[in-house]
Structure 1
Amino acid sequence: MTAESVVRDLLDHLSAGEVEEAIELLDVDVEWRNTFLPTFRGPQVAKALRDMVARGIGFEVEHRHVAATGDVVLTDRTDVLSYGRWRSEFWVRGTFEVRDGKVVVWDDAFSWVDAIGSGVLGLVKGILPA
């Protein structure tokens, strides 16, 4: 399995709501970083992903570009977070490091302005009649 296929599978499993399958692709000592948010490490990552599902938070991904060199994979994608009728779509740049078929570093960067703006738009659309 290539590093690129591991990352694609991870994100696609999350998008399909298959959190346990996604967690299987994470190293036990994985480090998950997000712009200006606390870093999650090891079991905290699995707990956070399971918690999202338990709370009914949806995740979807649209891959725009994926490039890999060796064990490093760069993603340019649109992530969608949802809860009920609320949806927030925003651009994410991800850098992943894969070792022995497992993600050891997951580093996502995004614009908070875009994420908040999309969240507000999603809120307005969510309260308007369908």
Structure 2
Amino acid sequence: MGELPELQQNAVTTVREFFTAMEIGAVNEALDLLDPDIVWKNTSLPDIRGIQRVGMVLRGLSRDAFGFRADMHHIAAETDGAPAVEGETVLTQRTDYLRMGPLEVAFWVCGTFELVDGRITLWHDHFSWENLLRGTAAGVWNMIRRR
């Protein structure tokens, strides 16, 4: 693979565009914002390394039976409106929603994104298993009520 051009936008915009692309199922556009050597970390789960493996997971979430969306509550970085530079970090606080058929699970996530040359090199999500279980229980309850 040849050298990727540097993206000329600030880091917060890159992270927002990444989430927007995932929400609308535009996986290729989301992957364009990632570094080929991306590392995706989730609390207590194995790391997912490399754009091909991350792409497999994101493509799985974009299938008809599954879905993803996020409500971004806070997003912060020290960018001063400049393009992302080496080592720039973006922090997010959000509610993620995972849909599996008629079940939608909502849970709180804090994310850390590190960018180099405008591309995301690290995506590290922190979440509470207790909050995820509560979100699952609420999702099951809502699914039953809708029947």
The TM-score normalised by the length of structure 1 is: 0.93
**Equivalent residue in structure 2 for 1:26, among 16, 34, 38:** 34
Runs of 4+ off more than 3 Å: none
Q: Deviations over 1:4-63 (max 9, x none)?
A: 111111011111221111111111100000011110000211111112223622111111
Q: 2:68: which partner in 1?
A: 59
Q: Distance in 1 between matches of 2:102 and 2:60?
A: 19
Q: 2:5: which partner in 1?
A: none
Query: Identity percentage over the alignment?
Result: 38
Secondary structure of the equivalent of 1:20? helix
The 5-angstrom pairing of residues 82-97 of structure 1 reads 82-97=99-114
Aligned residue type for 1:26: L
Q: 1:8: which partner in 2?
A: 16
The TM-score normalised by the length of structure 2 is: 0.83
**1:48 partnered with 2:65:** no
C-alpha change, 1:8 and 1:44, in structure 2 (3 Å) is same
RMSD: 1.3
Bigger radius of gyration, 1 or 2?
Answer: 2
The 5-angstrom pairing of residues 94-113 of structure 1 reads 94-113=111-130
* Structure 1 residue 127: Cα displacement: 2.6
**How many residues are paired up?**
130
Q: Distance in 2 between matches of 1:101 and 1:37?
A: 26
